[in-house]
Amino acid sequence: MAILKSRALVLRTHRLGETSKVVVCYTENHGKVRLVAKGGRKGGSRLGAALEPFVVSGVVFYLKAGRDLSIVSQAEVERDFAGLRRDVVRMAYGGAVLELVDQVVSGQEPDPGLFAVIVETLAELESADPASLDLALLRFGFRMAGALGYEAAFTSCVLCAGTPGSAALFAPRLGGLVCEACLSRHPEVEVARRQATAVLAAAAEGRPSASTVGPVLADELWGAVRAFLVEHTGRSIRLRSLDVLAQLRRAEQE
């Protein structure tokens, strides 16, 4: 039995018995692991408080070969993104980040770079201007894909490798821009609208968007990023947090 240490982010939790819980974590040094926090649901439990979503903790756990669950013996809070929990909209965006990692990443495949990207994104979502939250989530989708080896192509046409030009559009399932000439030869290619393409390019390149993202455009943008991730990771993706966000938007409009 190995005793392991790592920084960890809780992706989701569920009950185990009367007082314990199972926590699915993405760790900096050991990838995705499932831990049992014994007594973690007791009132005032330090262990339980350190193993909640939107908290970065240093954890110590026992890994036994052939076991799906490991026992966590220590957990100390290093950083708490409490601002996400205080704002239901920001919490929905932060929840979408955690859900994406949970649904796309599998197994004990450590990636300290991806761990850093997740932490940076949660920090951005906690403090960013409300108008920038959609762009932050889109950027995370592209950065996560890049960390996993599926970087989107915005500097050349994915079909002919030529310069995309100003008329190029983003083709989610092809993984990048398609130039005007290739679009005329391949009308069957599904592409995002010009406004959506501009916002997606801005997100992927880490620069501000010139467009204001309203509810309709936000749905189209996430649909494009989702299609890109599904195609290139082979994973089925459905984010409940974005369903909550859509309900909040509908309530605001009403």
Q: What is the pLDDT of residues 155-179, one digit of tens each?
A: 999 999 999 999 999 999 999 999 9
What is the percent of the chain where pLDDT is above 70?
96
Average pLDDT, the chain: 90
DSSP 131-174: GGHHHHHHHHHHHHHHHTT---B-SS-TTT-S---TT-EEETTT
The predicted pLDDT at position 27 comes to 95
Helix (H) or strand (E) holding 88: helix 88-104
Has residue 190 got a pLDDT over 90? yes
Q: What is the mean pLDDT of residues 209-232?
A: 89
From 1.10.1520.10, 2.60.40.1480, 2.170.120.40, 2.40.50.140, which CATH number describes the 2-80 domain? 2.40.50.140
CB contact at 8 A, 176 and 145: no
Q: Tell whether domain 83-253 is in CATH 1.20.1440.120.
A: yes
Has residue 1 got a pLDDT over 70? no
- If one compares 195 and 65, the residue with the highest pLDDT of the two is 195
The predicted pLDDT at position 212 comes to 79
By DSSP bridging, strand 169-171 and strand 70-80 are unpaired
The predicted pLDDT at position 65 comes to 67
The predicted pLDDT at position 117 comes to 96
Print burial letters for 44-63: b (CB count within 10 Å at least 16), e (below 16): ebebbebbbbbbbbebebeb
Q: CA-based angle 231:233:238, to the nearest 5?
A: 80
- If one compares 124 and 71, the residue with the highest pLDDT of the two is 124
Q: What is the pTM of this model?
A: 0.91
Has residue 62 got a pLDDT over 70? yes
> C-alpha distances in angstroms, 118 versus 47, 115, 142, 224, 248?
22, 5, 12, 21, 24
Has residue 36 got a pLDDT over 90? no
- If one compares 235 and 18, the residue with the highest pLDDT of the two is 235
The predicted pLDDT at position 112 comes to 93
Q: 91 burial class (0-12, 13-18, 19+ CB within 10 angstroms)?
A: buried
CB contact at 8 A, 33 and 27: yes
Instruction: Tell me the C-alpha distance between 193 and 185, whole Å.
Output: 18
The angle, 0 to 180 degrees and rounded to 10, between the axes of the packed helices 112-127 and 133-147 is 180
Range(s) of the chain covered by CATH 2.40.50.140: 2-80
Assign 18 a pLDDT band (cuts: 50, 70, 90): confident
Assign 20 a pLDDT band (cuts: 50, 70, 90): confident
Range(s) of the chain covered by CATH 1.20.1440.120: 83-253
The residue among 97, 102, 153, 145 whose CA lies nearest residue 120 is 97
